[in-house]
Chains A and B, each alone.
Chain A
Amino acid sequence: MSKVEAGKFNLGAALKGYELNKMCHTLNRAENRAAFAADEAGYCARFGLNAEETEAVVSRNKPMLFELGGNMYFLAKLDRVKKAGAV
């Protein structure tokens, strides 16, 4: 897969990132952030994220998240979740 450049169209990223970004979008809501913080991998599973995507989310590995189609506007929601006891 070609290297994803933020802001530029990338077919691979467009094909891949839907579930990942959808999950991140739900983190706008406090109750979802709390559920995510309580069980990050479990929360990812609810949105159908595969093992690679889940690992990238849990490790907050930005280059990997971008390669998997993560979009910065949605990944920003992930950045705003505190690691524990999130509100």
Chain B
Amino acid sequence: MARIAGGLGTSHVPMIGRTLAAGKQAEVPFAPFFEAYAPVHDWLGERKPDVAIVFYNDHGLSFALDNMPTFAVGAATEYRNADEGWGPPEPRSFRGATELSWHLIQSLVADEFDVSVCREMLFDHAGITALDLLYPGHDVPVAVIPIVINGVQPPLPTPLRCYKFGQAIGRAIKSFAQDANVLVIGSGGLSHELGEFGKINEPFDRMTMERIVSDPEALTRYTNDEIVDLAGAQGLELMTWIAMRGAVAGQVDVISSVYQNPISHTGGAMMLIEPR
């Protein structure tokens, strides 16, 4: 039987990936962000998840406006990175988990979430940075299922819808008959707006992190536009954390948590939770 080992919310701003690639985690002003990953690495060593389901928002790589899904689920045997405009990256390949993917898709559609099914999908820095934070050094031992939530072109799914989507994924994981030890990741946020460095809202971010643990439903009462006003346009990436928390249902314990203001132009954050 499949089970949910835990849930991780994390920032993915490109400066994090560049710092990891340069091996300068201890030298940057936001070093405490990386330090908070030490208990996460210990936890991964103990719990040994074998699949990572990654909620993130595509950054204009795999999807453009010709066809913009609200929710898209990967069902590929592998996922590759690609040039996002910074120059061709070192080619990377991430192993898929197709049987679990199709089980999720079938369950979600039966549960009235009519998702887009992606047999091919480019995997962008939002997903890859999260995996590199978990497994520094590029040796990613887990199979991956990318799940994209439209955070790009409004109208975007509401916090409540994203929470319910996460809950549906949580139910689907638990009904998968094969063995799988699943880590659910929400990669995004927290408060920021590209090009607007003043849009970090630390009190809102800290409140959000507290509610993710103790009262996630309180976050589902915000409208998208309220989140934009409070946390900036890209603060909507919070949806990835809300979906993650929907999947990791019930009471949780916090294994590690950090808020770092700023990382680049964002309210930087990480939190690992485990079902109680």
- The residues of A with any CB-CB pair to B shorter than 8 Å are 5-10, 14, 17-18, 21-22, 24-25, 27-30, 33, 62, 71-74, 76-77, 80-81, 87
Contact = CB atoms under 8 A, between A and B. Distances in A.
27 contacts: A5-B228, A7-B193, A7-B225, A7-B232, A8-B224, A8-B233, A10-B154, A21-B65, A22-B65, A24-B60, A25-B65, A28-B60, A28-B82, A28-B83, A28-B84, A28-B85, A30-B83, A33-B85, A71-B153, A72-B233, A73-B194, A74-B65, A76-B60, A77-B84, A80-B85, A80-B86, A81-B85
Most-contacted residue by chain B among A27, A72, A80 (CB, 10 A): A72
A72 B194 contact: yes
Nearest to A13: B154
Interface residues of B, number: 28
B225 A8 contact: yes
Given A28-B84, A33-B85, A6 B193 contact: yes
Contacts of B236: 7
A72 B153 CA distance: 9
B154 A62 contact: no
Nearest to A19: B65
A55 to B, nearest CB: 19
Given A6-B233, A22-B64, A76-B59, A71 B85 contact: no
Interface in B216-231: 224-225, 228
Contacts of A10: 154
A6 B231 CA distance: 12
Interface string B104-122: 0000000000000000000
Nearest to B227: A7
Nearest to A73: B60
A21 B64 contact: yes
Most-contacted residue by chain B among A6, A21, A74, A87 (CB, 10 A): A6
A68 to B, nearest CB: 14
Nearest to B153: A71
B66 A76 contact: no
Contacts of B154: 7-10, 14
A30 B194 contact: no
Nearest to A17: B65
A73 B85 contact: no
Given A8-B233, A14-B154, A72-B194, 11 more contacts: A7-B154, A9-B154, A14-B153, A17-B65, A21-B64, A25-B64, A28-B82, A28-B84, A73-B60, A76-B60, A80-B85
A33 B84 CA distance: 11
Nearest to B193: A6
Contacts of A71: 60, 65, 152-153
A71 to B, nearest CB: 6
B234 interface: yes
Most-contacted residue by chain B among A17, A27, A77 (CB, 10 A): A77
Nearest to A72: B194
B195 interface: yes
